[in-house]
Amino acid sequence: MSVEQFYADNRANWNDRARVHARSELYRLDQYRTDPTCISPVVRFDQQQFGSFEGFSIAHLQCHIGTDTISLERLGAASVVGLDFASDAIEVAREVAETSGSKARFVEASVYDAPAAIGETVDLVYTSVGTICWLHDIVRWADAVSGLLASGGRFYIRDTHPVLFVFEEIDGEIRPHFNYSYTVDEPLSWDEDTTYTDDPDSVGIRNTRHHEWNHSIADIVNALVGAGMRIDRMDEHSGVPWQFVPSCTREGDLWYLPEPLRSQIPALFSLHATKL
């Protein structure tokens, strides 16, 4: 299968998911529409890691239906532009922004084309939770991040730790799956009519086929360094914002593996970098 076909499958799958997520309890879009203080749990977490977003012009890569983008604006960003390749996600994001009085701009494009599609440099490139696993070429991704920044511009990412992707649960037992390499050239392909918001009407997913790539920490760091970025800090976290396997238990907005794995396996990483 060609790379173009992988992305066509993923785009169709994300268009379906955008519609299902827009109706979901997890994304609770009505709260963003009616309560100007509503901030997404993803951005709340990232604020603790990054510090204040106040005054930053921000490009948000893989913005999905805009809840995190609008949250960044509500936390004082000078301007925000969200980018996503799923037209339905962008349509939902624009509707929520318009209804809630947000000035956020939303652009439909592939991450790889972000500098041209956004058309300006920003102070901060932000991307969080469920992002680079959808990209086959981590070097092109890092070049796009760098291309959105002038010297001194900042980058922040939080995403699934590649070590977590090696694990799966079978019959209540969580263990490494030998087909799930720590880093893969070929994607792992799935056929699922459900999504992580776990709605009864997940039947809205008609384009079920999707493909994900796992990128090692070394590949992520080296891609950013190769794109002219200095790595300032990296952290590892144990909570994931979705039920990674059935045995995960929920605490607040995050799900945790059962002990002792919870203490042994990093679930997410966050990374801060600066354009040289």
Ligand X SMILES: C[S@@+](CC[C@H](N)C(=O)[O-])C[C@H]1O[C@@H](n2cnc3c(N)ncnc32)[C@H](O)[C@@H]1O
Q: Which of residues 62 and 270 has its CB atom nearest to ligand X in the complex? A: 62
- To the nearest whole angstrom, how small is the minimum distance from the Cβ of residue 69 to ligand X? 9
Contact map string, positions 135 to 174, toward ligand X, x by CB under 6 A: x---------------------------------------
Distance linking the first and last C-alpha atoms of the chain:
38
Residue 49, token pair as written in the block: 């890691």
Site string for ligand X, 175-214 (x = CB under 6 A): ----------------------------------------
Toward ligand X, which CB reaches closer, 68 or 261?
68
Question: Buried (b) or exposed (e) across 195-208, using 16+ Cβ within 10 A?
Answer: bbbebeebebbebe
* Interface with ligand X in residues 72-131 (CB under 6 A): 84-86, 89, 110-111, 128-130
Residues 274, 151: Cα–Cα separation, whole Å:
8
The stretch near ligand X (CB under 6 A) out of 59-67, 94-102, 198-206, 219-227 is 59-67
Rounded CA-CA distance 127/10 in Å is: 18
Question: Cis omega (within 30 of 0) on the bond before 260?
Answer: yes
Cβ atoms of residues 67 and 27 within 8 Å:
yes
CB of 175: closest distance to ligand X in angstroms? 25
Residue 75 or 261 having the CB closest to ligand X = 75
Provide, rounded to whole angstroms, the least separation between the CB of residue 62 and ligand X.
Answer: 3
Residue 50 near ligand X by CB under 6 A: no
E strands, 116-228, in order: 122-128, 149-160, 167-170, 173-176, 188-191, 209-212
- Which residues 6+ apart lie within 8 Å of 51 measured at CB? none
- By CB under 6 A, name the binding residues for ligand X: 10, 14, 42, 62, 64, 67-68, 84-86, 89, 110-111, 128-130, 134-135
